[in-house]
Amino acid sequence: MEHPLLQTYGPLDGWMILLIIGGISVGFFLYQVQLATRLVLRGSSDDRFDSWGQRISEVLTGWLGQKKVLRDRIAGGMHVLMFWGFLMISTDMLDLATANYFSDNILPELLNGPWNGIVELGYLIALIGCVAALTRRLIFTPEKLKGKSQLEGNVILLLIMTITTTSFIVESAESPSAIWEPIGNWVAGQDIGENVVVGAYWAHMVSICTFFVLIPVSKHMHLVMAFPNVFFFDTEPMAKMRPLAVNDSGQAVPLEDLDIESFGVSTFDQYTWRQLIDGWACTTCARCQDVCPAYESGKALNPMQIVHDVRNYANDHAPILLKGEQPEETILERIGSEAVWACTTCHACVDACPLYIEHVPKLTDLRRNAMMETMEYPDELNVAMGNLESASNPYGFGMHERADWAEGLDIKIGEPAEYIYFVGCAASFDERNQKVARATIGLLKEAGLDVGILGMQEGCSGDPARRAGNEYLFQMLAETNMMTFQELGVKRIIASCPHCFHTLGKEYADYGGAELEVLHHSEILAKLQEEGKLPDVSKEESITFHDPCYLGRIGGIIDEPRDIIGGVDVEIERHGNDSFCCGAGGAQMWMEEDADKRVNQIRAKEIAATGCDTVAVGCPFCSIMVKDGLDSVGAEMDVMDVAEILWEQIVAKDAEIHKKYRNKPRKARFWNPRKGEFN
């Protein structure tokens, strides 16, 4: 039969009809894409043109390989089938729109069969994915979709189903190969009438044209923006924040030389162009929403809505923004102050996003402006920020008290040492966490390490100030600490606080600390155990482990804390990279939280569900929050740092040895790594 495109329909030839509907749909598509692109380019500069090898690799695995999408085996599998299917059938549009000119005159005859096979396979797997997704939406509706409009998603799925099914009918009229096109060949044997084929062709083309119209005005704009969003992903360590300003060498401009007119973000164009792409790249899959502790606890923050708010703000004010003017409505007003200050900066949303959307920086940038420019921040932060500025710790204790916890430990204070134990504010002044500091020092000395502390020369790492948006105060603290490190020749630091571990190890590089080697105490303790310099833990009670966000997901330290305590008996439901926040991060430790919206209670219930006797932790804030949470839900579990558990075993063995030989002359006791016991 004559190709439907070459037939005449009343006064118009087929190609004229396709030219009209195709021209309108493609024209609308291109107009909307260029509009979104112009809005994105209103953003400030952002150097994302480095690390080409790393970026290409991430595109191959993250965009093409869909590695993050496949974390959700069910929904991800459906999406991957449709994604790969569309990649495989994309070239078929050339054939359909040119009455087979592409395959007959351009494609080499040798490749015709394999190409047709790939195209048919693409249609098939896209159809399978589409049917599965539609069935899940309509019959096995996920909880997060219940009560919400599914019209847009269902219409798109029906269009895909129409595109895929009609392709087999159109294919049946073109002498399909039984080898390369078995489905089309089978349909050809069903005596399909010419009118049906013609109808299928136009249904196919109209569906594609409709798809082109819907793409830029729906969540399916991610089909356009996903590639650049993945390619220009942030190659810096997760959760590393940027300085107020950098010089030509990429280092932070010192405070004494700093000369900037505004802080953070208050207007749309103060976000970088890469941050703005996020709005159009979002698939509305709600994975970020599903893992957000603030959202789960009932607060105003929904990370997915934050991304949508930025995009919707741009679309609503497009005429004004494209003129280079500012709307009366600010970004903070659109997103809402409550949402901005509810974030714990745990980065679970960033980690879960299959398209590398950067939710948290959008909020911390707004915090910077609110903290340092407009002064629109929670009043309770005044106490912590004031204490940090005057006493270099959020508790407000005097600097001279920083080393009081170490009395009687015979440790170097303010002197050069191979390792400096950066105690942190919590372990310096919080009575509960002082025990962790003493246990850590005891273990390090037991292993024979040359370790010291800074004492009153140690200042807060600056994490609370930076996550709260007080970047100026953070930089003041960072520059002061770096001066101390340089004066004492500090090269290797051990921190028991994951927030200090992250800030010193990942963020101080911008302030002259690139050569610092920063270890979490669980890392070095596990290493010392492996080397036989510390004993293994023999458990008498069951233990689980709570992964702190800044240690596990952000810091990549997951196995070492478990190794120290000899493994866990029962894992918490959400653990490792998928661990759930305790609720203290993002300066939340210093802000009030609604009693009925407490993140730590959610986590405490998950921990209690393990039925273990003890929950091990590796963070001073987690220790406090988890303990409070367990008490509030009536769970009787011990909360102990991994260092305490190991030190407790050594002390117990020491007591046992002294008891055994109390009537005999005493001699020096030391750990024999070859025998794995005390001599």
DSSP secondary structure, 467-527, as one string: HHT-HHHHHHHHHHHHHHHHHHT--EEEESSHHHHHIIIIIGGGGTTTT-EEEEHHHHHHH
654: its two tokens = 């020491």
Write out pLDDT tens, residues 4-29: 999 999 999 999 999 999 999 999 99
Rounded-to-integer distance, Cα 537 and Cα 437, Å: 19
Q: Please tell me what DSSP assigns to residue 173.
A: T
Q: Is residue 111 predicted with pLDDT exceeding 80?
A: yes
How far apart, in whole angstroms, are the C-alpha atoms of residue 418 and residue 35? 58
What Rg do the C-alpha atoms of the chain give, in angstroms? 30
Provide the pLDDT for residue 93.
86
Give residue 604's pLDDT band: very low, low, confident or very high (50, 70, 90). Answer: very high
d(CA 623, CA 433): 8
The predicted pLDDT at position 72 comes to 87
Structure confidence at residue 659 as a pLDDT band (50, 70, 90) = low
Give the whole-angstrom CA distance, residue 529 versus residue 538: 13
Q: What are phi and psi of 482, to 5 degrees?
A: -65, -35
Query: For the segment 24-83, what is each residue's pLDDT rounded down to a tens digit?
Result: 999 999 999 999 999 999 999 999 999 999 999 999 999 999 999 999 888 888 888 888
- What pLDDT digit, counting tens, does each position of 516-563 carry? 999 999 999 999 999 999 999 888 899 999 999 999 999 999 999 999
The pLDDT assigned to 673 comes to: 44
Q: What's the mean pLDDT in 415-424?
A: 97
Q: How many angstroms separate the Cα of 49 from the Cα of each of 243, 356, 412?
A: 19, 16, 46
What 8-state DSSP symbol labels residue 673? T
Token digits for 12? 């118009």
Residue 653 has pLDDT above 90, yes or no: no
* Of the candidates 600, 564, 559, the residue with the CA atom closest to the CA atom of residue 581: 600
Phi-psi region at 585: left, alpha or beta (left = phi > 0; alpha = psi -120 to 50):
beta
The proportion of the chain whose per-residue pLDDT surpasses 90, expressed as a percent, equals 80
pLDDT for residue 271: 97
Backbone angles phi, psi at 107, to 5 degrees: -70, 130
Dist. CA 583–CA 621, nearest whole Å: 9
pLDDT average, residue stretch 403-426: 95
Confidence (pLDDT) at 660:
59
- Whole-number percent of the chain with pLDDT over 70: 95
Closest C-alpha to 341, from 503, 470, 469, 474? 469
